Structure formats: structure tokens, C-alpha cells
Amino acid sequence: MNKQEFDCILVLGDSTTSSQLTPWVVERVEVACKLHAKQKANTIIVSGRGNQEESEAHMMSKYLIGKGVLPKQIISEDESSNPLEGLLFSANIMHKKKWRRDLIITNKVQKNQIQTLANHVFDEHHYVKIKGVKNKGFNKDQLKKRKLYEKKLTIYLKNNVFNQMQRANTGELKDFLYNSKNTAHQNYKTFIAKLNKELNKENWLFKAEQ
């Protein structure tokens, strides 16, 4: 058997609390299925906490199994509630298995943000490729606002958070995420609140039922 190009394919969730996968995430899972069938990697990690009744990771896992992927070829990471957590927790899985090459699946509009996050979660010896898939599920106006949201968020992370951190420093990343007394954490929360209000996020935030 030929050696696979990647140790794993990581499919990030979308922090949804819906009872079903959004078309946005379904597109990611579909692409992961196709790449898995092409033997790009033997294992797929699905990431996302989702709602209280069923995790987003579990919903993705069921979808993959329905498409013919074997349960033993799927790892569920069902604790993360945002992309940074998804990458951190999945990186921990990879570290334990000594995996150093992974393909991360997200949507095109979020690709730059995920690349920025991955550059600070993984060290320079870890090969990461980000694949952006189609931005399904948004109308033209919603997609325009999502693009602006992702652009402003990515610029903020680069200039105000990661410029103060060492690469692949798990302790610093967790402190930023969970320490409410951390200045970067406080400023980030304020920035996100203003950005959500500025772009009226509740009116375009993707929901599976749409």
C-alpha cells in the first residue's frame, strides 16, 4: 500500500448549536470523504462540541459512516466550541499519535483565519495544509458580511494576539482562551462584541434550518 500524503484529515465544525449539520459543514465533510476515498489519509478527525444533546463531531461522524467511512477510521473531538479550541484539542490528539502531517478542511471564506490559527498552534516541524471548500449556505449579502467579519478578525488576531505569543506555546494559547484576567483575552472579548454589533451578526449568522 502506498504511504498516504497526510497522517489525518481534520474537519473543523462551525460552533453550531443546531440539531443538524449546516450545509456549510456538510460541504467540509463531503470533501473530506472524497479525499479519504482517494487515500490522502487513513484517519479523519471531526471537531466540534455542538449542542447539549449531540455534539457536532458526532453528527459529522455519523455522516461519514453513512458515506462508507469505517468507524475505526474516525476520531471525534467533541469538546471544542471555536476554531482555536478545535485546532488545539486536535493537535493534542495528533501529538499523542506522533502525527506530523495533516490536512485541515474549512470553507474558503474562513481559510485565512484558520491558517493564522494553525501557524500558532503547530510548530515549524508540523506540516499543515489548509483546504478551503465552497461557501455553501449564504446568500450574496450574508457572504459579504461573513468575508468582512473573517478579514477583520484575522487581522486583529495577527496584530493584537499572536504577535505577543511564541509559536506553538500551548500554555500561552490556553491562557488567552480561558484566563479572564488576561489582557489579550479581555480585549479580544471586547473586540468581538463590537464586531458582532457592527456587522449585525445575528441577522447573517448561519443556521442549518435556513
Q: Which fold is adopted by the domain 8-203?
A: Rossmann fold (3.40.50)
Question: How much is the mean pLDDT over the chain?
Answer: 91
Cell of 137: 449556505
- Domain definitions of the chain by residue range: 8-203
122-143 pLDDT per residue, tens = 999 999 999 999 998 788 888 8
14-51 pLDDT per residue, tens = 877 678 888 889 999 999 999 999 999 999 999 999 77
158-205 pLDDT per residue, tens = 999 999 999 999 999 999 999 999 999 999 999 999 998 888 776 655
In this predicted structure, the answer to whether residue 102 has a pLDDT above a threshold of 70 is yes
177-186 pLDDT per residue, tens = 999 999 999 9
